[in-house]
Structure 1
């Protein structure tokens, strides 16, 4: 693995997004399975989950690592809401929570239709305050990333939690829904299908759904990951999608074409934009956290 030249260019458009002299850096290592990176620009700190370690970690740009929360109830995906509060998916409590500015933790959702959620996985917040999250069964399949249990939900849903607290299943035809993100104009919802983790017959794809006035339609295949499966991903300000994969990070254009890859020596689970200028990609990959600067920034 060449940390000094980790790029695989597939489409000429990818050249404008990378800095050829920018190295991939391993910032921290020694974890069990890293996930859920979220950047706090006001604190200049990255938070991320070490799911089997039952903890959340804090990482500064210069590589200083500390424990943010332990136990974390097997926290997985994290994001921030429009008020800057931390929103977290937990396998252990099968819930989605919000950490208030005071530090108090509020449970936002832990069941639907009188049944416990499976194990909330990844989460995003829409500009109107609605919270979208995926609910596969990974956290209840074993005691490694949660607590083994039988699923109670009738499907592996993509849920929407409205600002008024009402919870509704929006999509129910995934084998295992995983990462999700919105297009910059919030007219498209992207959702990863990671069911190939346990069923090789499931395609490793990202699907795109149309959003309009609270309604969802479509579900076309936007892109397919050719190495491993899609897990977490982010959309940048120009509508390009940066996705985790077995061999690194895959960058897809708004048209779904593969533009290029950032090769990483460990299986990538998730990523986010951050850093002092917002143009650094932070990558959670198996036992480590990596970063690389780009000519791209997160969607606002």
Structure 2
């Protein structure tokens, strides 16, 4: 769609025919004017060009060189249900903040430092975007091929490392602490996403997606993700990497403040668990079940979202399917999850080559789809941030996108 399409205004100069008609209407009186003008006004929108979106040809240009979005609402912010109008910001447009990554995951917002950190997994680094000047720089390298990042209630960064099969915490004094790297004497698979609980515990998922060359290191010869032994997982890696084999199912764990690691959701309940988050009151836990991972021998995840009740004993119960994430017959595969303060669930969407379905899907607490955000790239993970926590940051394949909202994210990012 050409840039000239953005220049249409409601106050265009009328044609001579319109002027003649106007004189006749004025002569006929105010009642006749209203009756004649209404059909003309109703037809006016049909004569206006449609705004450019991710599904136009050519598609919308999200770069700094692209024409600014002057349509309210942004054409790629879709209210499926009227309730979404109270969450989105009418005069805010989707912005691409940065591009140039390989596969981006784990955006997390540091409230005190006012910066966004995320993982560029294949490059084994974490990146940082600073809010005041928009500068992007390498934040941590190597990062252990980190995936999910988060900040706890004390402002400490938590990271899930694919390469080292562990969860780490970066302390306020600059040191790093290994929080978990094994369960019952067996190495973890590749921790993926992590969230903090007000009681001081950390909950994290452990699917097998790090067991591949692109995002970590495959198993040693004979392991599930390297059964033939033809891949050498030690190439390009530091000493000690590439010697482990997958030993555990894909589970969800809770790390007690005292250091005890408990298995809280088994693979049979949620296969290949990926993103997770709590409801604002921490009484519900949402877990995304993504597709089959490297080395999986079972059916794997189906690209859906599950929800559990969390009681005072910190044990998830009453697990059930929250959503199959099917829209128009297309699986909008979930990954990262976050809740807003109203309890709505925001889920990243990976619909593959189905243009117009990648981005973010928004559900109300009952599991009904109420809104969608369309991006030109597969979206892997999201978080709320900004000084007011009213900005949604989206890690989408090679780029970072942002959108101001009329609501706030719940809890630390």
With the shorter chain as reference, the TM-score category is: over 0.9
Alpha-carbon shift at residue 200 of structure 1 (Å): 8.3
Alpha-carbon shift at residue 275 of structure 1 (Å): 0.9
**Runs of 5+ consecutive residues of structure 1 not aligned to the other structure:** none
**Which residue does the alignment assign to 1:194?**
290
Where do residues 113-152 of structure 1 align in structure 2 (5 Å cutoff)?
113-140=184-211, 142-149=212-219, 150=223, 151-152=245-246
Find out whether 1:79 has 2:150 as its counterpart: yes
SS at match of 2:179: strand
Q: Distance in 1 between matches of 2:206 and 2:345?
A: 21
From 255, 261, 283, give the equivalent of 1:161.
Answer: 255
Alpha-carbon shift at residue 201 of structure 1 (Å): 7.7
Alpha-carbon deviations, 1:173-217, whole Å to 9, x = none? 232100000011111110000025779884321100111122221
Q: Distance in 1 between matches of 2:126 and 2:80?
A: 35
Maintained 8 Å contact 2:188/2:248: no
Maintained 8 Å contact 2:293/2:300: no
Q: Distance in 1 between matches of 2:394 and 2:316?
A: 30
Find out whether 1:289 has 2:289 as its counterpart: no
Maintained 8 Å contact 2:189/2:248: no
Where do residues 40-55 of structure 1 align in structure 2 (5 Å cutoff)?
40-55=110-125
Q: Distance in 1 between matches of 2:299 and 2:377?
A: 21
**Which residue does the alignment assign to 2:310?**
211
> How has the CA–CA distance of structure 1 residues 200 and 20 changed in structure 2, closer, same or farther, with 3 Å as cutoff?
farther
Higher relative contact order (CA 8 A, sep 6+): 1
Alpha-carbon shift at residue 87 of structure 1 (Å): 0.7
Where do residues 1-300 of structure 1 align in structure 2 (5 Å cutoff)?
1=54, 2=60, 4=69, 5=74, 6-61=76-131, 62-140=133-211, 142-149=212-219, 150=223, 151-172=245-266, 173=268, 174-195=270-291, 202-213=301-312, 214-226=314-326, 227-246=331-350, 247-300=358-411
> How has the CA–CA distance of structure 1 residues 13 and 268 changed in structure 2, closer, same or farther, with 3 Å as cutoff?
same
Maintained 8 Å contact 2:251/2:271: no
Alpha-carbon deviations, 1:253-278, whole Å to 9, x = none? 01110001011110000111111221
Maintained 8 Å contact 2:144/2:163: yes
SS at match of 1:63: coil
Maintained 8 Å contact 2:382/2:392: yes
Structure 1 or 2: more helix by fraction: 2
Which structure has the larger Rg?
A: 2
**Paired residues, number:** 299
Q: Distance in 1 between matches of 2:292 and 2:320?
A: 18
Maintained 8 Å contact 2:171/2:177: yes
Alpha-carbon shift at residue 157 of structure 1 (Å): 0.5
Structure 1, 107-116 or 193-202: larger mean CA deviation:
193-202
Maintained 8 Å contact 1:28/1:63: no
Query: Structure 1: which 4+ aligned runs deviate by more than 4 Å?
Result: 196-202
What root-mean-square deviation, in Å, do the aligned CA atoms of Structure 1 and Structure 2 show? 1.6
Structure 1, 125-134 or 193-202: larger mean CA deviation:
193-202
Structure 1 or 2: more strand by fraction: 1
Alpha-carbon shift at residue 155 of structure 1 (Å): 1.1
> Structure 2 length as normaliser, TM-score?
0.70
Alpha-carbon shift at residue 71 of structure 1 (Å): 0.5
Alpha-carbon shift at residue 63 of structure 1 (Å): 2.5
SS at match of 1:52: helix
**Which residue does the alignment assign to 2:30?**
none
Structure 1, 196-205 or 39-48: larger mean CA deviation:
196-205
